[in-house]
Amino acid sequence: GESVGLHLPTLSVQEGDNSIINCAYSNSASDYFIWYKQESGKGPQFIIDIRSNMDKRQGQRVTVLLNKTVKHLSLQIAATQPGDSAVYFCADDLNGNKLVFGAGTILRVKS
């Protein structure tokens, strides 16, 4: 993940549309990646993870895509709902030693 300081990027989507949230990572040796959702005033909530031997993994309404060539990770949320509004951030396992967290992207769902 990467930090963007005090101003997090924001993605606004219409209810029912699909959302795509992107994340870049810096270490080509990372072999485990994870997405979290954090609602205001709450702790981060695990959404989905993926290992580097895969390039796609699907969960309920969510899909994670991993492109190791360009060190890019994305989270796709199908049929976005108001309850999906939150900060989403990725993390990668740096050298199998610790998780490195990005600052996140704000997802706003318009009804």
Partner 1 sequence: NAGVTQTPKFQVLKTGQSMTLQCAQDMNHNSMYWYRQDPGMGLRLIYYSASEGTTDKGEVPNGYNVSRLNKREFSLRLESAAPSQTSVYFCASSEWRVAQAQYFGPGTRLTVT
The contact set with partner 1 (CB under 8 A) reads 1, 3-8, 31-32, 34, 36, 41-46, 49, 51, 89, 91, 93, 96-104
**Closer Cβ to partner 1, 13 or 90, answer by number:** 90
**Closer Cβ to partner 1, 78 or 99, answer by number:** 99
Report how far apart, in Å, the C-alpha atoms of 105 and of each of 20, 22, 29 are: 11, 8, 24
What contacts 7, CB < 8 A, 6 or more positions away? none
**Phi and psi for 54 in degrees, rounded to 5?**
-125, 155
**Closer Cβ to partner 1, 36 or 85, answer by number:** 36
